[in-house]
Structure 1
Amino acid sequence: MMISMQRIKAIFIKDYKDFSRNTAVFIVIFLPILMAAFFDRMGTPSIDTHFMSINMAFILVATYVQCCLIAEEKEKNTLRNLMLSPAKTVEILLGKGLLSFVLTIIVVFFSAFLSEYQPAEMTAMVIALLLSTVFYISVGTLLGLFSKSIVEASVTVLPAMGLLLFGPFAVHFAEKYPVLSLFEWLPSSQLIELAKVTEGSHTSADILIPILVITAWIVCISLLTAWVFQKQKSD
């Protein structure tokens, strides 16, 4: 199956223009950076503190911005036109996610830089961060497909925001409430687990397991997103 880079580029440029005109959504991307700078001024941050700003970058940029971009298309009824265009599903989804991907990488980089986070295993962490970016964008796309407007998208994204951002902290109470141990398998929790395990002695399996778990989440959410997209396209 041939993929047209021209179509992906055209969708990317359109999204960039729409994004730059939306002041409220544009301002959101600076919040994780400001939080990272604030945490750095508080003293020596822990791994959990570092990843509070990084996971917030994923939630606010990769998920929230992506959700709003999709919802805005639906609100203007332009997503329907895009679905009926010659562009393939994969081209539309890649094009719609490209801006969020670029923005997320930039924001995550500056969040890590300002909080002075230095991974013990740079290669493994970069791979995990890139995979996490894809996961959060997929979640944003999925939620956007269920939203009819930007206002509705802002509400739709809240449960995912709470789950993925605060889920890792819930794991600390798993001894008292065993059911909370399920949150350990969230991509955000696995990312923190990878960061912690690489700080000390570790094996290849210790690095591989979190990456495989995040990859499994990507496959599941991506397949679900593609199915919902195809269903809405045929309706």
Structure 2
Amino acid sequence: MNISMTRIQAILMKDYKEFSRNYAVSVMVLLPLIMAFFFNKTGGNNINTYLLTVNMAFSMVTTYVQCCLIAEEKEKNTLRSLMLSPASLGDILIGKSLFVFILTMVIVALTIFIVGYSPANIFILAIALILSTVFYIAIGTLCGLFAKTVMEGSLIILPVILIFTFGSFALTLSSAFPILKIAEWLPSSQLILLAEALEGSYTTMDVIIPMATIIVWSLVTWITAGFIYKTDCNIKCNTQKSI
């Protein structure tokens, strides 16, 4: 797979311009920061509160912005032009993800700072946050490929925000409803479990299991998104040839 940094940079700059012009999307980056400020002032000083704001940043910024940027491309019919361009699958996926990745890192860092979270092991947590970012970008890409307009993308993303932001709270009801224990394997729940383990005397498995779980989620989601993209691309290419 040929990777062109020039094409990636061009797609990155295009996404930045689209993001800065669409205030309905760009305003979403403020919500996790507002919630972090609120929790900081109300004395929410536990791991669950800290990671709630981080998971909120992933769902409401990473996934939402990525979904809407791709949906906007489809709405304006520019994604089709991108598919038919010389840009490879790697160029497009990396280029469409790079801006959101940078934006996420900035918002997550600000969220952690505002809420007052000081991780016991910032290096390990940083790796987990990067892996989580990759996963949430994949989810946003997948949702964006299903959406036809920005409005539709905003609706599709709501279950994702609900499940991955607040899914970990389902564990509190798992004693009454055992099926809810499955929520423990959500990337958001694994991130909380990892952060909790880092605060005490943790083992290697306490780190490996959450990391591996997030990686598996990322691989499955990216493979699915890549398959759907290639399928759409082949359909559009065949349609273009028939015309």
What TM-score, normalized by structure 1, do the two folds share? 0.98
Residues 94-133 of structure 1 mapped to structure 2, 5 A cutoff: 94-133=94-133
**Separation (CA, whole Å) in 2 of partners of 1:213 and 1:90:** 24
Q: In structure 1, what residue type is equivalent to 2:36?
A: A
Structure 1 counterpart of 2:28 = 28
Structure 1 counterpart of 2:239 = none
Contact 2:75 2:150 in 1 (8 A): yes
Provide the secondary structure at the position in 1 that maps to 2:168. Answer: helix
Deviation track 1:88-122 (CA, whole Å, cap 9, x = no partner) reads 01110110011110111000000000011111111
What TM-score, normalized by structure 2, do the two folds share? 0.95
**Separation (CA, whole Å) in 1 of partners of 2:220 and 2:68:** 22
Unpaired runs of 5+ residues, structure 1, are none
**Pair 1:210-2:202 in alignment:** no
**Pair 1:150-2:147 in alignment:** no
Q: In structure 2, what residue type is equivalent to 1:216?
A: V
Contact 2:142 2:225 in 1 (8 A): yes
Provide the secondary structure at the position in 2 that maps to 1:29. Answer: helix
**Separation (CA, whole Å) in 2 of partners of 1:201 and 1:104:** 29
**Separation (CA, whole Å) in 2 of partners of 1:230 and 1:21:** 29
Structure 2 counterpart of 1:172 = 172
Provide the secondary structure at the position in 2 that maps to 1:30. Answer: helix
Q: Give, in angstroms, the shift of residue 2 of structure 1.
A: 2.9
Q: In structure 1, what residue type is equivalent to 2:198?
A: T
**Separation (CA, whole Å) in 2 of partners of 1:179 and 1:55:** 22
**Pair 1:53-2:61 in alignment:** no
Q: Give, in angstroms, the shift of residue 59 of structure 1.
A: 0.5
Structure 2 counterpart of 1:5 = 5
Deviates more, 1:38-47 or 1:68-77: 38-47
Structure 2 counterpart of 1:91 = 91
Deviation track 1:111-140 (CA, whole Å, cap 9, x = no partner) reads 000011111111110000000000000000
Q: Give, in angstroms, the shift of residue 44 of structure 1.
A: 4.4
Give the aligned length. Answer: 235
Q: Give, in angstroms, the shift of residue 23 of structure 1.
A: 0.8
Provide the secondary structure at the position in 1 that maps to 2:117. Answer: coil
Q: In structure 2, what residue type is equivalent to 1:38?
A: F
Residues 190-209 of structure 1 mapped to structure 2, 5 A cutoff: 190-209=190-209
**Separation (CA, whole Å) in 1 of partners of 2:87 and 2:101:** 20
Q: Give, in angstroms, the shift of residue 159 of structure 1.
A: 1.0
Contact 2:36 2:53 in 1 (8 A): yes
Q: CA RMSD in A?
A: 0.8
Which runs of 4 or more aligned residues in structure 1 lie more than 3 Å from their structure 2 counterparts after TM superposition? none
**Separation (CA, whole Å) in 2 of partners of 1:225 and 1:114:** 34
Matched-pair identity in %: 49
Deviation track 1:17-56 (CA, whole Å, cap 9, x = no partner) reads 1110001111110110111011000114211111111111
Provide the secondary structure at the position in 2 that maps to 1:81. Answer: helix
**Separation (CA, whole Å) in 2 of partners of 1:95 and 1:82:** 11
Contact 2:2 2:90 in 1 (8 A): no
Query: CA 1:220–1:72 in structure 2 vs 1: closer, same or farther (change >3 Å)?
Result: same
**Separation (CA, whole Å) in 1 of partners of 2:218 and 2:106:** 21
**Separation (CA, whole Å) in 2 of partners of 1:160 and 1:28:** 15
Contact 2:2 2:88 in 1 (8 A): no
